[in-house]
Amino acid sequence: GTIYAISEPISSSTINSPESYLYLFSQGPSHLTHRMEISPNMDLEQKQSSEHVEKSTLDASNDTSDPEIEKGLQRVEDPEWIAAQKRYLRKLDLIILPMISALYFFEYLDRGNIANAKLLGLDKGRDTKYNGVGPGMETLSSTQWQTVVMIFYVGLVLCQVPGTIGYRVFPPSKWIAFGVCGWCAVCLLQVTAFNVSALLACRVFLGAFEGLFGTGIVCTTSVCDHRSEMGVRVVWFLGPTAIAGAFGGLIAYGVGHINSHIHNWKLLFLIEGLPGFVLGLVCLYWLPDRPLKNSRFKGFDQEIAEPRYHSEAFDKAGKIQRKHVIWTLTDWRLYAQAAIYVPTAALLSSISGFLPTIISNVGYHEPTKANLMTVPPYACAFVLMYLVSWNSDRVKERGIHLTCLTIVAAIAYALLATLDQSHLGGKYACMCIAVACVYATYPPSHAWAANNFGNETKRAIGMGLYTALGNCGSIAGTWLTQLKTRRVSRRAISLRWGWRLRRRD
């Protein structure tokens, strides 16, 4: 393919691997000086020859004064060009970040409202005053409810790879609108569920449409932003996952006090599903597509967008090349990152699906009070997510941050499992710390994974596989919490503690 040489000397070892030259682009356009042709199939002698030819070309360019090279170098050093890039980035952020943050907010609101709906009577019998999905006067069993929570992640896992490939093939704004309107429609259809089978069908399709939407957002934005800019921006996408948990508790608390002929759990699905559907339609006209086909930027802004794109992704939008698929599937970093993500996904699914019930079991038995008490853990999670992501971008490091969060979360889970039931305040504080630390690992780990996949095709396939493999942990995580007892299961918490330690190792 075509790559660009950087101003520093390039050793033969640097270009000896078809993957290693991806690093050249990660340094940004400020290091690009000239282009050369190199094939991954070249032997070492040919690569060294190409290197010498390129060096000679660069030396010659100093004499011939290539206008394109001089123009590029002048722009790199021009303060006005640097200021223009900053203005472009601010404009891009103002267009993308608020909208994507709102979409992620509604995604996790509609994903996690099943836990709040349970306390409002969704799991109660069809013939009770709650008009739930249980048979007759009976409440759903613990196993049935955990299956309802788990089946969502089956749909999510199955559609995450097709979802990220969809971002690669179709205009991102159209693909986003399709996924958002799809899951919001399914969220609204949950109101019509009259038995557990209907609820299971709704949940699996809810997971499928959210799978089409979610992971590809990180993949798509990674071709607009440089890797040193990704951490804080990812928290603007994933931070609303914690805000959604906090607002979900507040909304459920308010809905629980509404007196209406429509049952409270149905009102909850209606109130949280309709705004997201409207927002999905707005995406069709608001969100930009790829930098090379950007309807929102013209003229000088487009001149800035293109080199930023080429500095992070090499292949043009279009057909997916088989070699990129093979490189992705044989990249050990994909499986290493997925192994890191599995424990986090397990804990996140356990938290989002059962936190109100866990808090109720800790000691806050009144349903509306339990929903309200979910707000502080999620609020702490959002603050910590932003601080960790900002600092990881500042110091350009991810692994140590993840390790520290893992250790603290493991200690919090251990204390939650061992503290006596009479220590209600202490157990609740441990819950807040554990939830915050688990959520705070989310943005850095996703940014880290996206940065490790070189071009746009590899990011699309790699991020889809990364989240799909990782979310297999979500399926397991739904079985970590026991719902039959009024106590928090020590066995479940001990399992979580072990998973956190495994992640640290």
Break the chain into its structural domains and give their ranges.
2-63, 95-504
Give the model's pLDDT for residue 311: 60
Q: Which of 40-54, 66-80, 250-264, 386-400 has the lowest mean pLDDT?
A: 40-54
Q: How many alpha carbons lie under 13 Å from residue 112 in its C-beta half-sphere?
A: 31
pLDDT top residue among 101 and 371: 101
Q: Which of 2-16, 176-190, 320-334, 412-426 has the lowest mean pLDDT?
A: 2-16
| Strand 32-37 to 2-6 pairing | antiparallel
Residue partners of 182: CB distance under 8 A and separation at least 6: 205, 208, 209, 212
Contact 184, 110 (CB under 8 A): yes
Give the model's pLDDT for residue 485: 44
Q: Which of 3-17, 80-94, 327-341, 409-423 has the lowest mean pLDDT?
A: 3-17
Q: Which of 77-91, 313-327, 464-478 has the lowest mean pLDDT?
A: 313-327
Number of helices followed by number of strands (H, E) in the chain: 20, 2
- Burial grade of 498 (CB within 10 A; 0-12, 13-18, 19 or more): middle
Give the model's pLDDT for residue 21: 38
Give the model's pLDDT for residue 287: 83
Give the model's pLDDT for residue 34: 39
Look up residue 58 and give its DSSP letter.
Answer: H
Provide the token pair at 311: 């500095």
- Burial grade of 215 (CB within 10 A; 0-12, 13-18, 19 or more): buried
Give the model's pLDDT for residue 301: 67
- How many CB atoms neighbour CB 51 within 10 A? 19
**Per-residue CA distances from 139 to 115, 123, 130, 267 (Å):** 15, 6, 11, 20
Give the model's pLDDT for residue 374: 85
φ, ψ for residue 33 (rounded to 5)?
-125, -35
pLDDT confidence bin for 274, thresholds 50/70/90: very high
Superfamily grouping for domain 95-504: MFS general substrate transporter like domains (1.20.1250.20)
Cα–chain center distance at 60:
47
- Where helices occur in 141-290 by DSSP H, the ranges are 142-169, 172-189, 196-221, 230-255, 264-286
Length of the chain: 505
Cα–chain center distance at 174:
19
> With 80 as the cut, is the pLDDT of residue 465 above it?
yes
> In whole angstroms, what is the distance from residue 471 CA to residue 477 CA?
9
- How many CB atoms neighbour CB 363 within 10 A? 18
Q: Which residue, among 244, 460, 470, has the nearest Cα to 336 in the 3D structure?
A: 470
pLDDT confidence bin for 470, thresholds 50/70/90: confident
Contact 106, 272 (CB under 8 A): yes
Q: Which residue, among 502, 364, 351, 362, has the nearest Cα to 440 in the 3D structure?
A: 351
Cα–chain center distance at 205:
19
Contact 393, 449 (CB under 8 A): no
> In whole angstroms, what is the distance from residue 139 CA to residue 460 CA?
42
pLDDT confidence bin for 372, thresholds 50/70/90: confident
| Residue type (1 letter), 39 | S
Provide the token pair at 78: 């021009």
Q: Which residue, among 120, 80, 404, has the nearest Cα to 255 in the 3D structure?
A: 120
Give the model's pLDDT for residue 70: 46
- DSSP-assigned states of every residue in 340-382: HHHHHHHHHHHHHHHHHHHHHHHT--SHHHHHHTTHHHHHHHH
| Residue type (1 letter), 179 | G
pLDDT tens-place string over residues 420-447: 877 888 888 988 998 999 989 888 888 8
pLDDT tens-place string over residues 303-360: 676 666 666 554 555 566 788 788 888 888 889 888 888 888 888 777 777 777 778 7
Contact 196, 125 (CB under 8 A): no
Q: What is the mean pLDDT of the chain?
A: 76
Ramachandran quadrant class, 65 (left: phi over 0; alpha: psi -120 to 50; beta: rest): left
pLDDT top residue among 391 and 485: 391
- The dihedral over CA atoms of 167, 172, 177, 179, expressed in degrees to the nearest 10, equals 10
Contact 490, 363 (CB under 8 A): no
| Residue type (1 letter), 424 | L
Give the model's pLDDT for residue 226: 65
> With 70 as the cut, is the pLDDT of residue 294 above it?
no
Residue partners of 401: CB distance under 8 A and separation at least 6: 388, 391, 392, 444
